[in-house]
Structure 1
Amino acid sequence: MEPHQDNHPPLTRGMTLLFACACGIVIGNIYYAQPLLAAIAHSFGRAPTELGYLVTLTQLGYAASLLLIVPLGDAVNRHTLIVRLLMLNVVALVAVTFSTNFTMFVVANVAVGFVTCSTQLLVPFAASLADARSRGRAVGTVMSGLLLGILLARVAAGAIADGLGWRAVYGIAAAMVFVLTVVLAVKLPKDRRDARLDYAALMKSLVALVRAQPLIALRSTYGALVFACFSLLWTGLTFLLSQPPYSYSEGQIGLFGVVGAVGALAATSAGRLVDRGHGNAATGLFAAAVLASFALIAAGAHSLAALIAGILLLDVGVQGMHISNQSVIYALAGNARSRVTTIYLTSYFIGGALGSFAASVAYGIDGWRGVCVAGAALAGVLIVSWLASQRAGVRQVTQ
């Protein structure tokens, strides 16, 4: 059994749930805008499709911080780093709330994306506290919180915006993160480490990790493709639902996050499958679910039932794939889990940013059908990548 890292006490159930709640609260900050695109666009005199690029920019800000900030989690005091990032998150959310023009709004949102990387310091922190036999389950639980945060953020944003306007969404988010900062400053396990690697050495070691573990690069590719599918759907969905035949309000659009939240329940199960040595087969199953979902989603242009079923199937596939990926790579990482997180999630959110961008372009070219064709194409590439890895003999390594 691998020892606990840095002489921390073992991860308790209560601490696992705190990590999960923290991840859910913080990650929601970069997804509140999705059901609000039409309302935000109207307030700044912009076209709704133009706001699709806002999601892309925010995710790119997040991806940049994953690359530049998260590697520090292997070298510095994680407690201090996480708390300081949360404090900056509060400042950025306040700036969004009181933005007076579109440029200020965009810049503040990119800043929100950049400092939200604290979530991806919490996930490997939890993995380092768990023992080898339960690590997949612990990662799955924490990631369930994060994924529920992504999906339920849309529900909360839509409901609040219907009654109080979109600015209230970000004001309330700032208050929530402030309270969370205080709680984590007290409850988060103290990290006694001082820097052991300089920053340049940390960044160079990312390349060495990929060369030493080709499976990390493979799983990063899976992650980029599957999150591109996810972001493409949820960005394009706002365009579909805000227009005839649906013509839904922000609150009604946000309620679709409840449907997607069911998919997050697959996360813990995926982690357990990896713990038992079945992660490779689970990967193929989840990839097939993503591909199949777009047939239902395409029919959703005129059928609410088909749309809901497709969203549910897509989210099960996406979240299950994501947890399978992370459970596998954390088993390889040892004391380099923050750097492995950087490699994987930088790819993941670049994929998400490209998916959001593709949704805006595809919808502008061919409406909902264009979005679904693009999604099916990405899912097809994912399936081909998985099949090719089986033939090449790139297999999962488990604990």
Structure 2
Amino acid sequence: MDRGRRALLAVVCGVAVAGVYAAQPVLEPMGRDLGVPAGLTGWIVAAGQVGYLAGLVLLVPLGDVIDRRPLIAGHLALIAVGATLTAAAPAAWAAFAGLATAGLFAVVVQTAVAYAAAVSPPTERGRSIGVVTSGVVAGILGARAVAGALAEMWGWRSVYAVLAVLSLALAALVLAVLPPEGRTRRPAGYGHAIASLGGLFGQRFFLTRGLIAFFLFASFGTLWSGLSLPLADGPWRLSESQIGLFGIAGLAGALGAARAGRWADAGRAAPVTGLALSLLVLAWAAIAQLPRSLWLLIAGIVVLDLAVQAVHVSGQHLLTAAYPDRTSGAIGGYMVFYSLGSALGAAATTAVYAVHGWAGTSLLGAGFAACALAVWATGGRPPAGTADRRSPATLRYSHEH
């Protein structure tokens, strides 16, 4: 995995996740054009997220059955199909079908992470995961900015037309540039991979990392799903374009992902997780100052995104080391916790803000972060029988917990 191949996989992740989030800044024109009532436009985004959740369970385990390189290319091609259907949709039902399809195959992100882990030597696994994961951060932020600009120039349909072209081009590049995995033994069948995924949920180590992710991204979702409410209200009363600029501070998360990978390779994944979760709690103290200071808010956002990505990359590194024969299933199962936590944060933040304002929202986000820290403190060892295949990061985690 040289620098160019890591960068290619990061772009794959960015484009794939953009297919899920690109609708957010263009909900109003999409809903109006497709005849979706204003109160139901949220389902435009939800369609992609529902597809994504289904893909985590049904598609990601395929990476433990067949070569991930053609799987990545195939999923990108099918994202292009979904994006094309959305761009050409004559009615709402067609757009929902296209968005759900693009979301279903957006789980190519997890397959790309598993591929990067599988073809990297143990001493560089964390670095590869960090670089590839940084593409997700850039994709989420870039989708909001680029989609708004494209929609303003050529209409919302151009957003999905561009995504379709990019997905097809990346599918071709993946087949041309990335090497095959070269697995040394024949993997089990798809049914076994699905059953194996279910078995992970009964293992304490996996549940520990999953619950950390659940509370981690509940805290993350609390911020990003609720931030526009106080910024649009007094005393700031910022416009939508001004509020969107705060997402630039989230680019720090991409830098954090790459650096966290290096720390994981050095065997510091476990202590980095604890330190990052502690910083996450403290970040909310700065974020809570939003009604009084935008500079403290920005500082809090930077710290929060760095902490989230450090924990996220460290967790994936430990899981791929602990479950080397089912890395796709382990990452897919882990991301189920991610999705559920994000949904909880998004749903809870608006309800709490309506009753208790930004102070209540900040306490909610800090509370989720504290829960993640408490779960980390309880520990959880990798499963028996994997000691000889674990990386230094996983071994150190086992000793310390």
Q: Give the alignment's TM-score, normalised by structure 2.
A: 0.85
Paired position in structure 1 for 2:6: 16
User: What letter matches 1:295 in structure 2?
Assistant: A
Question: What is the distance in 2 between the residues matched to 1:327 and 1:224?
Answer: 17
Match for residue 288 of structure 2 among 289, 294, 298:
298
* Structure 2 counterpart SS, 1:228: helix
Question: What is the distance in 2 between the residues matched to 1:37 and 1:240?
Answer: 20
Q: 1:302 to 1:29 in 2, by over 3 A?
A: farther
User: What letter matches 2:248 in structure 1?
Assistant: V
Paired position in structure 2 for 1:371: 361
Q: 1:169 to 1:238 in 2, by over 3 A?
A: farther
Question: What is the distance in 1 between the residues matched to 2:393 and 2:303?
Answer: 24
Gaps of 5+ in 1: 1-10
Paired position in structure 2 for 1:361: 351
Question: What is the distance in 2 between the residues matched to 1:264 and 1:349?
Answer: 19
Match for residue 85 of structure 1 among 51, 63, 75:
75
Contact 1:55–1:356 (Cα < 8 Å) also in 2: no
Question: Is residue 306 of structure 2 the alignment partner of residue 316 of structure 1?
Answer: yes
Higher mean C-alpha displacement, 262-271 vs 321-330: 262-271
User: What letter matches 2:322 in structure 1?
Assistant: L
Question: What is the distance in 2 between the residues matched to 1:68 and 1:107?
Answer: 18
Question: What is the distance in 2 between the residues matched to 1:68 and 1:319?
Answer: 26
Paired position in structure 2 for 1:26: 16
* Structure 1 counterpart SS, 2:122: coil
* Structure 2 counterpart SS, 1:189: coil
Paired position in structure 2 for 1:202: 193
Question: What is the distance in 2 between the residues matched to 1:51 and 1:313?
Answer: 32
Paired position in structure 1 for 2:394: 397
What whole-Å deviation, never above 9, does each CA across 1:276-313 have from its counterpart, x for those lacking one?
22222111111122222223223224532233222212
- Larger RCO: Structure 1 or Structure 2 (Cα < 8 Å, ≥ 6 residues apart)? 1
Deviation at 1:34, TM superposition (A): 3.2
What whole-Å deviation, never above 9, does each CA across 1:114-152 have from its counterpart, x for those lacking one?
110111111111111111111111111111222222222
Contact 1:162–1:251 (Cα < 8 Å) also in 2: no
Alignment of 1:122-141 (within 5 A): 122-141=112-131
Question: What is the distance in 2 between the residues matched to 1:12 and 1:265?
Answer: 18
Match for residue 380 of structure 1 among 352, 370, 375:
370
Q: 1:117 to 1:269 in 2, by over 3 A?
A: same
User: What letter matches 2:51 in structure 1?
Assistant: G
User: What letter matches 1:397 in structure 2?
Assistant: T
User: What letter matches 1:110 in structure 2?
Assistant: A
Higher mean C-alpha displacement, 295-304 vs 213-222: 295-304
Question: Is residue 220 of structure 2 the alignment partner of residue 223 of structure 1?
Answer: no
Q: 1:33 to 1:265 in 2, by over 3 A?
A: same
Question: What is the distance in 2 between the residues matched to 1:331 and 1:383?
Answer: 22
Question: Is residue 324 of structure 2 the alignment partner of residue 327 of structure 1?
Answer: no
Question: What is the distance in 2 between the residues matched to 1:390 and 1:66?
Answer: 23
Contact 2:205–2:380 (Cα < 8 Å) also in 1: no
Question: Is residue 256 of structure 2 the alignment partner of residue 266 of structure 1?
Answer: yes
CA RMSD of aligned residues (A): 2.9
Paired position in structure 1 for 2:341: 351
User: What letter matches 1:204 in structure 2?
Assistant: A
Match for residue 86 of structure 2 among 96, 107, 115:
96
Question: What is the distance in 1 between the residues matched to 2:357 and 2:349?
Answer: 9
Q: Percent identity?
A: 35
Question: What is the distance in 2 between the residues matched to 1:142 and 1:251?
Answer: 28
Question: What is the distance in 2 between the residues matched to 1:308 and 1:102?
Answer: 38
Q: 1:127 to 1:165 in 2, by over 3 A?
A: same
* Structure 1 counterpart SS, 2:86: helix
Match for residue 183 of structure 1 among 160, 173, 182:
173
Higher mean C-alpha displacement, 64-73 vs 148-157: 148-157
> Would you say how many aligned residue pairs link Structure 1 and Structure 2?
384
Contact 1:152–1:261 (Cα < 8 Å) also in 2: no
Contact 1:137–1:271 (Cα < 8 Å) also in 2: yes
Deviation at 1:161, TM superposition (A): 3.4
Deviation at 1:261, TM superposition (A): 0.7
User: What letter matches 2:126 in structure 1?
Assistant: G
Contact 1:56–1:356 (Cα < 8 Å) also in 2: no
* Structure 2 counterpart SS, 1:335: coil
Gaps of 5+ in 2: 382-391, 397-401
User: What letter matches 2:219 in structure 1?
Assistant: C
Higher mean C-alpha displacement, 102-111 vs 166-175: 102-111
Contact 1:23–1:146 (Cα < 8 Å) also in 2: yes
Paired position in structure 1 for 2:387: none
Question: What is the distance in 2 between the residues matched to 1:371 and 1:165?
Answer: 35
Contact 2:118–2:181 (Cα < 8 Å) also in 1: no
User: What letter matches 2:315 in structure 1?
Assistant: N
Question: What is the distance in 1 between the residues matched to 2:71 and 2:13?
Answer: 15
Question: Is residue 72 of structure 2 the alignment partner of residue 72 of structure 1?
Answer: no
Higher mean C-alpha displacement, 115-124 vs 354-363: 354-363
Q: Give the alignment's TM-score, normalised by structure 1.
A: 0.85
Q: 1:371 to 1:112 in 2, by over 3 A?
A: farther
Deviation at 1:379, TM superposition (A): 1.5
User: What letter matches 1:197 in structure 2?
Assistant: A
Question: What is the distance in 2 between the residues matched to 1:356 and 1:255?
Answer: 20
What whole-Å deviation, never above 9, does each CA across 1:139-198 have from its counterpart, x for those lacking one?
111112222222222222233334444333222222221221222232232357797422
Contact 1:127–1:135 (Cα < 8 Å) also in 2: yes
Paired position in structure 2 for 1:4: none
